Structure 1
C-alpha cells in the first residue's frame, strides 16, 4: 500500500470518527454508513442550514452597521438646574449716528428720503432692470436702492455688510441697551455676566450666562416662576434705527444652552417695545447613542467642523453654517458672512454672485454638506434644547 493510499484512509477514518462522535445534529447521519439517498438528504439539510445561518449573520451585521436607534423619553423633575444662556440683540443692526463720515453715510439720506420726486420716479423705473447692473461701486447706496427688486428692500440686507470690527463700533452698546438687569431678585454684574459678540444681522448681541467666561461661573437656579429668573429692561434707542435695514422695532431674544453660539435670525423670538414679555421654558436633553458620525465634509477628507472656532461647544446648526461658508471658499473663493475671516464675496461681481447662488441652491438640495445634514455628536455626548 502506497503512502498516498495510507494518507487517504487516515483522512477518511478521521472524518468517519468525527461523524460518529460529534454532537452536531445531522453531521453524524450524513457521514455514517447508510443508504446513499438518506445521507444525501442530510447533506442537503446541513447545507441549507448553513446558508440560512450566513444570511442571518449578514442581516444582523447589516442592521448593526446601520446604527439603529430607539427613543426613550423620561420626564425628570429636578429642583436644581443650570440656568440657560440668554442672548438679547437689538433689532437694529447699526446706529445711524455712527454712520456719518463713513462709507455708509449714504444710507442715512435714503432713510430720510432726501431725494426729489423725479429721482424717486427714476429709481422706481430702474428696479425693472437687471439687479445691481447700474450700481456704481460698493457704496453707491442710491444705486442699490434704485435697483432693489424687493418691495420691502430686504435684498439690501445682504448688500450692507460691515466687518465684525465695524459692527462692534456701529452697533448698540450694552451700557445703553440694557438699563436694568436682575437675576433671582439680585442685580446683575454688567461687566462679568454678559458676553458681547457680533451677529451679521443684528450687530452687537449680549449673552447672559454664556458659561465659558473667566470672569464669571455658569449660573444655576432652583427657583421658578415670574418673580424669579432673569429680568431685563431694554432701551432700543429708536432714534438710532435705520428703517431701511430694520423695519421692526424691538429686540431679538434667544434662549440656548451654555457655551453654544446662538443664531438669533433662526432661533430668536421677537420682543416688541412698550410692553412686558414673559418667557417660560422647558428643557429637553438628548443623549446620543454610538455609531453616529462627526461633523465633517462630505468627502470625509476635508475640514473637520466638530471643534468650533469661537471657543464654543459643538452644535449641528453652527457646524452646518461653517460648512456652508467653507463650501463658498472652496467653490467661489469668498464668504458672505462673518463666521470665517476670509475675503467677502463682491455683490457687484456677477460671477461671484452667481457662484454664491449656485452653492446656496446646492446646499438646499443637499448637494453640499449632505453628511453634515444627518450628523450628530459623538458617543457619550448630550445636547440640550429649550422649548418655550
Structure 2
C-alpha cells in the first residue's frame, strides 16, 4: 500500500481564524439578513424585494418610537410637578364641643380697696398742699367723688404716713422726693426728682403697690357669688346653660375665668349640626367701672378655645374681644398624627414629643396646685 498526500482541487484553501472580520459592510449586511431571527428588523431593512412592506414597517417603527418618547415626556412632566395624592373623606357624626375659657381681664376689683385708695388720695392732697399750697379735691382731679365705700375689715392695711413728700435740698438745687428708712430711722434711702410731678407719681405708685400687696388671695370658686356678675346670659344649641356646665378659677393676670365643657363627659355638649344656631351664645358684662386704672391696661374678654382636660395657657394663646361689640367665632378642628418612621423623620414615639408633653403636664400640675 502507498500513502501520500490527497489531491486537492484548484481552489485555494482558507484557514479558519478565531475572529473573522467582514471584508465590507455589504458582506456584514448580507450575513445579518441571512442569519438574524428578529423578524421586525428583517422586514424593515432586509425586504428589498417588497418596498411596500418596508415602508409600512418603517412607519410603524417611527410611530412606536414617537409614542415611547411621548410617554417619557408625560412621565417626567408629572414627576417634576411633585404631585401629592390627598384623600378627603367627609363624614357627619356627633362631635364633642370644644372647651371654652372666658376671662373678664380684671384680676383685682376696686371694691376691695376703695376705702384705702380714698385714704391715699386724701394723704396725697395733704402732701401737695404742704409743698405747693394747692388744694385739689378728688372731683377736680378727675375722680368720681361722693362717699367712699365701707372699709374691708378683713384687709389688715395701715397707711404709713411717715413716708411723705418733702423738699430735699442738695446745695443750691431744690428737689422733691421722699425717703424710706428702717425701723430705727437711722438708715434711709432717698428718692428725689427735679420735677414735682414725677416725684408725686412715683410716691403715689409706691403707696398704691403697697396697698395692692396687702390684698388677700382672690379665690373665686363659688358660682353663687358670680350669678349675673360676668355671664349675663348663656345658651347652647337652643337650651339654657346650667351652673354645673362651667368651672370657675382665678387667673393672676386675667381675673375671673370660666371654662365651659372642661371635662367633655356631658352629652349636653355634643354638637350634632354645624352653624351659629347650634353653638354657644353668650352675653357678657365687662364692668369697666370696676377696673383699677394703674393695673388694668385693657378691658374686654379674654377667650381661648382648647381641648378637654387641658389647662388653658392664656398668656401664650387665646385672643381678646373688646366690650360693646357683637363677635361671631367659627371653629374648625384639625387633627394631625405622626405617620411613623417609614413616612419620614418623625416617629409616633418620639422622645422630643414625650419631653414636651412631660413639661406641659408639670406646668398643668403646678397651675392646679397654685390655684387651689
Q: TM-score range by the shorter chain?
A: 0.3 to 0.5
* TM-score normalised to structure 1 length: 0.44
Give TM-score scaled by structure 2 length: 0.46
Comparing both chains, which one has the higher relative contact order based on Cα–Cα distances under 8 Å and sequence gaps of 6 or more?
A: 2
Larger Rg: 2
